[in-house]
Structure 1
């Protein structure tokens, strides 16, 4: 006789540490697991980048790791095949193209989403074995101008600042950066530093008044593209008012006189006129910089994404060199990267004009060094095609095969009509991705399923040069492999040696050895102190800032010690700068300047964040910001559908009428794509214009016309299951219990009930009701809501939160059915837009609390919990306080709010 085992199941809990998947801040995260299943995510308290803080995107990372929309096996022409078949196919095709057309007929387009180990293998394969420079990265769109600027000035691509400098400075200048939304954790560190040091001053410089301006003592609302003139004028002011560090200039720099000669035409009056700001703002800013004992210029895409981005970077660097405000606590020119491993890509040669380890691709000695280290059959001896040129050469037939990894160029690159043409004509398009649907995957001849965040294993480097481990939380999803594994398999099948890696620790070991090989102190990028790590030591590696020099731990993390730079004479270089206007200028036909950028809760092209209903609830749809004066002239009202038309394309989105943008200018987020909207890919409005030195695209200044869209019928549809939509205009919003589709039509549908039944294919209890203003349609299946539609000749705003709530109800009451037919939500769902994504706090309760006396962000957090988790909504809370709090006749003290 046997007895059943009745012993209780023992649940096993564990904790793993990894790195956030988003911006270049590089936050550490703690993941709690129950029986190897991730259950909870928190900021890593001991990580030097974030000390436990996380933004709203990082907080909701576990929401994005589901199995939906994942590739499950390799595909050839959309047919599932084995890994052997797929890698054989790609290897044979690559070898065939190289044999017939040479190594420059193939290309890799990679991503700052790759880990350093992936990046290293890609660079080694292309430059050392295939023998071409044709590997570039989407980081070309992010920080290549900053790379070129640092290299021109310092001799090496080395960021001279750390996050601690942001907390030690007396003057923080944010220029071309909406850090409150793009780098929220660093913004919170800045905010705290200002609270601790009341003498700290913050200057925000931007053509658009963003949430970051909430922290500013001074906001300079400059004309787009005029940044270099502003900093040229600063250098001239420092000279005229005897605020130069003459000793530093004489001992540690070259080229000052040439740079000074170029800026002497930039008087305060000239800067005021060119930048379109008041002269007293110019002089106050210059005096503030001159008299402050320390200063940080913190800059991002607003500087880099320009046809003269490198010059803008060097104009900033020039001012810091001239004043001696660098290589000291709280001082320096600080470029912040946009992707989690953009810095890692820079290190291993991810750009087409680099070799690995900060070596130069057109330097024969450097070519020899890398080839001898790799023992490779060849080495690239000239720069390859950068991102924009690469797709031009694909379209022209010069590049016959391209491998795209972990990026979505159909959405991110400018002039996507040209990118589409290139991919349509390319003989072989290979795409490695962790998702099954994207705008780019549509063009793939071969698709490789790669691992996603939570499955990856390797390292990343953040914006302050700090290397952190990316640790796998779970096993690779069904059929997926790491990018380095896929490339190694293809390389071996191309009959290349040197790719027999079985673990990322082995790749890291080789990479660290390369940084030390024949270095002799000539390059600051040196990981010799990490050579020889065991697999266990690699697995347990703590965050560490390079350089990490063997037997010299006192040098760890220190750069340019004793004011010695990476140039031949160890001196930094001033670069004479002539400010240039953006290339894409407005005209009679295209009178508006189009700016673009990120929003708070979304990331790049939404393939990850678009999965999270929490992240989709803050801003549910794409929009175009337009100044009230322009809107009035064009008879555009808030939320009207409007189109932005450029020479290269057109988008349609809802109008957001706001004085945050200047007259004659507009703004649109970068995230929406063909998976979420019919016509909202803003990159299609930009021409293929790049900085001639860096190759970085001009994505902050396009020329467009704005017109009101002439739709005659509008539909708000809510469905239990995803629908296939074919409409003149549509957008999709994911909710937890349903999908929301917003449609607009040029020609009206007449039989609306039939239209809804045909569109959904649902069998159930259908009902419809006409009111004076709209047609209301709904379908009930098994006593549960399956579909809701509201159709009218004007736009209707229906509460998605309310409808989503009803979809979760197991049995709708008569009252709920009636409210559906009349589109009258319960009061709890009419509380305005969601402000706090973590605790789902909407605008009206916040306003009510403010009017009742909650006049600080802290008080609102205590009462409503908003702002108490990730803190990403604090700037909006501060804005609401300023708008709605009244204490007698006195205005609120901004310092209290911040």
Structure 2
């Protein structure tokens, strides 16, 4: 059991509101405190058990992202003839949605409509959306963007355990003697959990960390062993581990015999064949060759796993996002079942969730093939149970369309209306141009969103303004099954409404009863009651299906009947919260519930016989293999300081400074063969689409693979949607797409000039072939390139003035041009303040942007600024801080390198003590270590 922690909803400085971060699945607690100027200070919640006060750089920058610029504030409808959007009343918008859906259902049946929702929704929103579609419309055509990141884990858990449950908790990371990180750049994607691992390793140096990842990422910096396996070979590697453990007797035979089924079949599949009815002997050298890892390193890992009792295996998108993702999950779980390393402190398989409420969506049946409360859509008894509880007129009788096949059905005309909530599928789906075609042909596209302009909203017929983080109120569930409250601390802007309210309004307008909720608390209470409804999971009942009840670990019986006060003050709690976990109150009057830290300590699982299942996972090749036309393998993922499609993080100057453009990370030898160099623009293309990105040599790519981040979209770049390139192959069990293995080619993207501009208003991009926008506090920055010389007859000055709309012949306009070198620079000053500047060159090696950007914060340019402005650098020492390395404290590369040289800094800790860099979330520490090495090498070369 976890220890109860008393947490007030408001405490700390002034009237700080305790809420939860809206980014990854770590689920960090946040304190939001109002400032006199109307802004809000954001800090970590020291009492929240997910983060104990720490926040990563994205969470720390939340205060920069809550403004109303670009917000969708009023319902809008698109004129069919002109395509223009017009403001409408809520009544008109609700009528359009409800009437459109009702007409299509009546004419074409319930499967002609669909909802596509998001892990950004709160559990209460998710619950009513699922209830509407499956219990009233009568179709299971509701899927979620969590299909794109976590559905393979869901499927793997259900196959192995009988239910989608994560058996471990964050504390297990600190109790483990071996942490295996598989397909997870934890340092960048889950930095708070990474720092917990780092801190415990510093305290216990004997603790071991193994990273299994094709790339050498920031996470590898603290690893004792890195296995750079070939992309897609995870099943072979863990099948090899299973065979090794069996061959060397590292088996918990009593656990396997008493509490599992299927071991012999799983071992036979792992050993890749049988000889005379006997499993073939394991060949480590063959396994190492198949995975393309050093056999000595593989043996070291296998031996380490075999002899270490307390092992936690963490896996994330590198495992899930695969056409064999479910088998990868089960191959990992098989190894923990064989050794009995599950249900005990410091051990177990651990899926790190991507989104803040992907887990909450899974609880309420947000996937097209599941029902609410961990009940199964393909089980008649389960369907009857849910329908009876809801009092619903119908219940969906078969699985709905999963994300990729849903958009295929939209393009084919089988689905004629889709309601998209809180997600941007034109950017995030694989084969993204297919999503564009589908929405363009769809009869009715509805979008609930907080941002008006997104790639997806360009296709919407009805736009519904939703509440965003800081405005909406409800619950989310993190990676360790911990339910936390998101609380509102901002007023509802414009006419924005909560998602649950919008859904209920549409449901009632369609004529459905059962949606008369007055608050999110009432929805949560119904959700909790359904979890306990006919749930045979209790101490007094059988652990199998019992009479007319269905045992499942998901149980919120202890949270039923909280009332508004109890719900308001609910502290973070891990499910199951059983009825005998009676709620208590602390001295502050806040609700305290102990919950359950880890599952399966009783060795009973959710299958009908109470046993876990080994799953046979014969290895198979990825759905699409590289060939002569597309010889490289594309891997996609996140960068450190951005989130999803940047609609929130893209608003923060602090976050924009780390990585400013989409890039393609390559091995230098591959780049040479493709005819590109670091700094060049390149086209990355596949059989499905193409995009343009800047080439970089990150140092972590193996030969034959390239990496492109997922965040850039048509709102911030001319052609950087990597989703357009990704193949649409999916896992046959989970339906999760293959984001980690698309055959691609890389070609030079030829341009005649490169440049950048900084301006207080967006420029007019005539004659620009390539651009990327970066938002600053008092300026907007564009990276630029073109195929034709800018300006008619090469008149760069006229072109630059038109770029910024400067038509005053007497404007304070400074410029420099070297036609032979292809260089042009111009600065526009208004009332002694810099207004615009543009720098062009025939080559991509342009001046640094950081010092020029800093001038926009100045009330007046001084003489030194004017002297240096056309050169792009200050004449003063140390003024150019360089590209941002530590976003938390705004410390640049040049500042760090200077401090290393001048103060003789020898470690990342020295840098932190001197400059604070690395002292908050720690996600930049690997980069600090690299700068130490780079600076020392530069000193030795100079000597």
SS in 1 for 2:350: strand
Q: Could you say which residue in structure 2 is the equivalent of 1:606?
A: 646
Aligned mates of 2:491, 2:581 — CA distance in 1: 38
CA gap 1:847/1:815 in 2 versus in 1, 3 angstroms: closer
Q: Could you say which residue in structure 1 is the equivalent of 2:298?
A: 282
- 2:172 matches 1:165: yes
Worse-matched range after superposition: 386-395 or 644-653: 644-653
- 2:58 matches 1:57: yes
- 2:576 matches 1:547: yes
Q: Is the 8 A contact 1:129 1:377 kept in 2?
A: yes
- 2:243 matches 1:228: no
Q: Is the 8 A contact 1:799 1:825 kept in 2?
A: no
- What TM-score, normalized by structure 1, do the two folds share? 0.96
Alignment of 1:854-865 (within 5 A): 854-865=905-916
CA gap 1:884/1:824 in 2 versus in 1, 3 angstroms: closer
2:223 to 205, 216, 222: 216
Q: Kindly state the Cα deviation for residue 761 of structure 1 after the two structures are TM-superposed.
A: 1.6
1:537 to 566, 581, 588: 566
Q: Could you say which residue in structure 2 is the equivalent of 1:769?
A: 816
Q: Kindly state the Cα deviation for residue 13 of structure 1 after the two structures are TM-superposed.
A: 3.3
Task: Give deviations 1:276-332, integer Å, cap 9, x for gaps.
Answer: 011111111100000012111100000000000000000000011001111111111
SS in 1 for 2:624: coil
1:331 to 347, 352, 368: 347
CA gap 1:113/1:416 in 2 versus in 1, 3 angstroms: same
1:292 to 289, 292, 308: 308
Aligned mates of 1:72, 1:143 — CA distance in 2: 31
Alignment of 1:758-837 (within 5 A): 758-762=802-806, 763=808, 764-771=811-818, 772-773=820-821, 774-826=823-875, 827-837=877-887
Q: Could you say which residue in structure 2 is the equivalent of 1:595?
A: 635
Q: Kindly state the Cα deviation for residue 219 of structure 1 after the two structures are TM-superposed.
A: 0.5
2:930 to 859, 876, 879: 879
Q: Could you say which residue in structure 2 is the equivalent of 1:559?
A: 599
Aligned mates of 1:544, 1:220 — CA distance in 2: 36
Q: Could you say which residue in structure 1 is the equivalent of 2:271?
A: 264
2:761 to 708, 721, 729: 721
Q: Could you say which residue in structure 2 is the equivalent of 1:846?
A: 896
1:583 to 618, 623, 637: 623
SS in 1 for 2:912: helix
Q: Is the 8 A contact 1:31 1:38 kept in 2?
A: no
SS in 2 for 1:365: helix
Consecutive unaligned residues of structure 2, counting only runs of 5 or more, are 1-12, 79-84, 273-281, 538-550, 583-593
Aligned mates of 1:805, 1:272 — CA distance in 2: 52
Q: Is the 8 A contact 2:195 2:921 kept in 1?
A: no
SS in 2 for 1:320: helix
Consecutive unaligned residues of structure 1, counting only runs of 5 or more, are 1-11, 890-898
Q: Is the 8 A contact 1:272 1:279 kept in 2?
A: yes
Q: Could you say which residue in structure 2 is the equivalent of 1:526?
A: 555
Task: Give deviations 1:580-632, integer Å, cap 9, x for gaps.
Answer: 22112111111111111101100000000000000001111111101011123
Q: Could you say which residue in structure 1 is the equivalent of 2:800?
A: 756
Aligned mates of 1:170, 1:180 — CA distance in 2: 19
Q: Kindly state the Cα deviation for residue 808 of structure 1 after the two structures are TM-superposed.
A: 2.8
Task: Give deviations 1:31-69, integer Å, cap 9, x for gaps.
Answer: 122469453111111111001111000011111000101
Aligned mates of 2:805, 2:939 — CA distance in 1: 60
- 2:154 matches 1:147: yes
Q: Could you say which residue in structure 1 is the equivalent of 2:783?
A: 742
Q: Could you say which residue in structure 1 is the equivalent of 2:547?
A: none
Task: Give deviations 1:206-256, integer Å, cap 9, x for gaps.
Answer: 000000001100000110000010000000001111111111100000001
CA gap 1:886/1:620 in 2 versus in 1, 3 angstroms: closer
CA RMSD after TM alignment: 1.7
Q: Could you say which residue in structure 2 is the equivalent of 1:33?
A: 34
Worse-matched range after superposition: 859-868 or 26-35: 26-35
- 2:701 matches 1:661: yes
- What TM-score, normalized by structure 2, do the two folds share? 0.91
Q: Kindly state the Cα deviation for residue 514 of structure 1 after the two structures are TM-superposed.
A: 0.3
Q: Kindly state the Cα deviation for residue 829 of structure 1 after the two structures are TM-superposed.
A: 4.3
CA gap 1:844/1:341 in 2 versus in 1, 3 angstroms: same
Q: Kindly state the Cα deviation for residue 760 of structure 1 after the two structures are TM-superposed.
A: 2.1
Q: Kindly state the Cα deviation for residue 466 of structure 1 after the two structures are TM-superposed.
A: 0.2
CA gap 1:703/1:887 in 2 versus in 1, 3 angstroms: closer
Q: Kindly state the Cα deviation for residue 782 of structure 1 after the two structures are TM-superposed.
A: 2.9
CA gap 1:390/1:713 in 2 versus in 1, 3 angstroms: same
Q: Is the 8 A contact 2:873 2:880 kept in 1?
A: no
The alignment of Structure 1 onto Structure 2 pairs a total of residues equal to: 878
Task: Give deviations 1:175-228, integer Å, cap 9, x for gaps.
Answer: 000000000000000001111111100000100000000110000011000001
